[in-house]
Structure 1
Amino acid sequence: MSYPLRPLHLAAEIGGPPRYDPVHHTGLAQLAERGALDFVTLGDSFARPGPDALAALSRVAPATRRIGLVPTVTTTHTEPFHVSSAVATLDWVSRGRAGWCVDVSTTAAEARLFGRGPAAPAAALWEEAGEAAEAGARLWDSWEDDAEIRDAATGRFLDRDKLHRTDFEGAAFGVRGPAVVPRPPQGHPVTVVDGTAEQARETAARHADVVLVRAGTPERTAGIRDDVLRRAAAHGRDPGTLRVLAALTVDLGDAESTPEPGLESGLPLAGHGTYYRGGPVDLADLITQWHRSGAVDGFHLTPITPGRDLERIVNGTVALLQHRSLFRTFYPGGTLREHLGLARPANRYARRGERV
């Protein structure tokens, strides 16, 4: 299946071994911003120690101006109402640059941390994640954009006619609403889902704005992309509103060395994704090849050593792509949705005129 070639999108992970110094994550986000990357992600999991990714990026937000901020947020063992409020808050404090990478917690050890029940199968967890994403979107819409009046003369703070109940009922939870945080600047913060695993693809197709794909060749990547986009169309979505990024772990330790045998044109699977080792120039060539083939809209790069490799990505790979006029040199807009070429969603309740 062929799709029109879109502008190249680039993102990077700024996590790694646990770091508790805010200067660390802030410095990496500022470095990525100097390269005009679309967004940075910060991984998180209940299975390992480390700071809360969403809270950490809320600290990074005032120290950056344009780059998108996308923490990993698990929908397992958490409450959708609280998650949606926290993500909306990140969108407010970043002035419209927030997203969230939806994830699930699959292990028995993580379940024991909360004590609510045993670990569930991945398929059930991803179904719950989809419901959490739907509930979050409804909560973000539960305030119309002009619901706040702030009229001191009359003492009216809100127009109650512009607040709406969500009345969402899922298999594992129900959410009445409305939210306690006003509608975010972007309407809906950007939703990111890793759609590589079969169990996650339906959630990606129904709810994601950005889909990450981990596969070893452009052909395999394009196959997963086509599957997700077909499913999205079956749900009544315009496939053109999804951005598909190849997820790649990057080791630029030998700055200008040639890739190891087998890495020149195809990337072997390594652990939870694909792995690249080589120099910044070779990485730029690979990104160019995959993007021009139409396999992906861009790349999400995870530096194996963030402090070292992100600098080489920005000052080497990205600079070369910019020199070739393949990647922008500045941000044309201010929000993450604008970086990605995505429209601000209309408010579903405002159209229907529902009332509290």
Structure 2
Amino acid sequence: MHLGLDLSDAGAHPAAWRTVGSEARRLFDPERLVELVETAQRGALDFVLLDDAFALQPSRDTTLRGRLDAVLVAARLAPRSRGIGLVATVDTTHTEPFHVSKAIQTVDHASGGRAAWQVGWSTTDEVAAAFGRKPAQSEADAVAEADEAVEIVRRLWDSWEDDAEIRDVATHRFVDRSKLHYVDHDGIHFAVKGPSITPRSPQGQPPVVVRAQSPASLALAARHADVVRIRATSQSDAAARRAEVRAAAAEAGRDPGSLRVLVDALVVLGPDEASAQARLDLLQSLEGTRWETGSFAHVGTARGLAQLVQDWTETGAADGFTLRPASLHTDVAQIVDEVVPRLRAGGLFRSAYPGTTFRDTLNLRRPANRFSAAIA
């Protein structure tokens, strides 16, 4: 099974920053995230996720507003972490594919092969106005642009062959230019010649993460994703959605076994169900409105969450979960210290990372370079 943690904001609940112990003064302190990542990797969790967007969180002034740049934070975390995957969200609507490719590849180099890219896109007037280059797009147009951007990024990641750097002092040759390739993409939204300025990174292709929450994003995930995030309200709903993702991947000509389908799950933990519910009630009262997660929520004990994770993964309803702690300062430590040990005791979860890269953790092979494979 695969388990990741969403470390965005103060937690998944918008009122989390207002609770006792939330360390509100440190919300934009990267060292707070270093500490959270250290806790997550103590549990050998697959990855931490850093969300990002070009607009303030859509809520009232009482809600936490603002974020640090996800890729830059991932770059800071890279040399200060071991084993764990670093998933950064980058918007394709207002970021050029060339910039995305070298940013994620740089984090992959800095981390020794633990970077991943969660594909984002924008459809609001607010974000469009922040850049002033083009009007807001429909979801269909934004996802189509994202689809093309992912293809370009993947080509740029391959534009240096693995052995392109020869570093031959005697002949004064640093690279073998025959092993640098133009991507020569001329599409609907982008025209990119390449090659990249960044050598191919340890994973070759850092994993691509896509949230499949609509027909358009499902199609994008089926064509390009290594990790697919889905929302589900029940075990049977998750099984149906996972089957839909895998069928769409097969229709796109891919091996469904090459995708990891993870369910988003809000987590509110307590020593008993009543205590967990009281925590959620407090968060709801602080926010003043009922908060809808849009996906499954576990409000209960660590034992109950461990059993749920086991049931859903063993029955094939999911390959794992993206756990979204309601309050990072409370729930992350409980997940690592109380949920993970129960899974390990049942022989269901690792006690150490299986390799050095995020692909190793996901049990995904390192892909061959498309250009060198074509020449061969």
For normalisation by structure 2, the TM-score amounts to: 0.87
Structure 2: which amino acid aligns with 1:23? E
Offset at 1:103? 1.2
1:211 matched to 2:219? no
Offset at 1:199? 2.1
1:37-116 equivalences under 5 Å are: 37-48=45-56, 49-116=66-133
**Which residue is equivalent to 2:319?**
297
Q: Which runs of 5+ in 1 are unaligned?
A: 1-7, 261-268
3-state secondary structure, aligned to 1:12:
strand
3-state secondary structure, aligned to 1:309:
helix
Offset at 1:169? 2.3
* Deviation digits for residues 25-84 of structure 1 (CA, Å, limit 9, x no counterpart): 111111100000011101111112211011001101111111010011111111000011
3-state secondary structure, aligned to 1:154:
coil
1:227 matched to 2:249? no
**Which residue is equivalent to 2:302?**
280
**Which residue is equivalent to 2:178?**
161
1:13 matched to 2:20? no
For 1:54 and 1:323, locate their aligned partners in 2 and report how far apart those are by CA, in whole Å.
35
**Kept after mapping to 2: 8 A contact 1:290/1:296:** yes
3-state secondary structure, aligned to 2:273:
coil
**Kept after mapping to 2: 8 A contact 1:250/1:302:** yes
1:142-157 equivalences under 5 Å are: 142-157=159-174
**Kept after mapping to 2: 8 A contact 1:256/1:281:** no
**Kept after mapping to 2: 8 A contact 1:42/1:71:** yes
For 1:103 and 1:320, locate their aligned partners in 2 and report how far apart those are by CA, in whole Å.
34
Change (3 A) 1:173 1:35: same
**Which residue is equivalent to 1:22?**
30
Structure 1: which amino acid aligns with 2:271? A
Change (3 A) 1:272 1:76: farther
For 1:272 and 1:102, locate their aligned partners in 2 and report how far apart those are by CA, in whole Å.
19
Offset at 1:235? 1.8
For 2:206 and 2:36, locate their aligned partners in 1 and report how far apart those are by CA, in whole Å.
22
The counterpart of 2:137, out of the listed 120, 123, 141, is 120
**Which residue is equivalent to 2:292?**
270
**Which residue is equivalent to 1:238?**
255
1:256 matched to 2:272? yes
For 1:226 and 1:124, locate their aligned partners in 2 and report how far apart those are by CA, in whole Å.
26
**Kept after mapping to 2: 8 A contact 1:147/1:159:** yes
**Kept after mapping to 2: 8 A contact 1:90/1:98:** yes
* Deviation digits for residues 263-304 of structure 1 (CA, Å, limit 9, x no counterpart): xxxxxx933433221111111111111111111111110111
For 2:334 and 2:365, locate their aligned partners in 1 and report how far apart those are by CA, in whole Å.
32
**Kept after mapping to 2: 8 A contact 1:142/1:179:** yes
Offset at 1:23? 0.9
**Kept after mapping to 2: 8 A contact 1:89/1:181:** yes
For 2:97 and 2:318, locate their aligned partners in 1 and report how far apart those are by CA, in whole Å.
31
Q: Which moved more, 1:47-56 or 1:91-100?
A: 47-56
Structure 2: which amino acid aligns with 1:26? V
Q: Which runs of 5+ in 2 are unaligned?
A: 11-25, 57-65, 278-290
Offset at 1:106? 1.6
Structure 1: which amino acid aligns with 2:52? D
The counterpart of 1:35, out of the listed 43, 59, 63, is 43
For 1:93 and 1:287, locate their aligned partners in 2 and report how far apart those are by CA, in whole Å.
32
For 2:112 and 2:137, locate their aligned partners in 1 and report how far apart those are by CA, in whole Å.
37
Q: Which moved more, 1:276-285 or 1:294-303?
A: 276-285
Structure 2: which amino acid aligns with 1:341? N
**Which residue is equivalent to 1:265?**
none
Offset at 1:101? 0.8
For normalisation by structure 1, the TM-score amounts to: 0.92
For 1:248 and 1:106, locate their aligned partners in 2 and report how far apart those are by CA, in whole Å.
25
Structure 2: which amino acid aligns with 1:13? D
The counterpart of 2:193, out of the listed 171, 176, 187, is 176
Structure 1: which amino acid aligns with 2:110? V
**Which residue is equivalent to 1:308?**
330
**Kept after mapping to 1: 8 A contact 2:9/2:67:** no
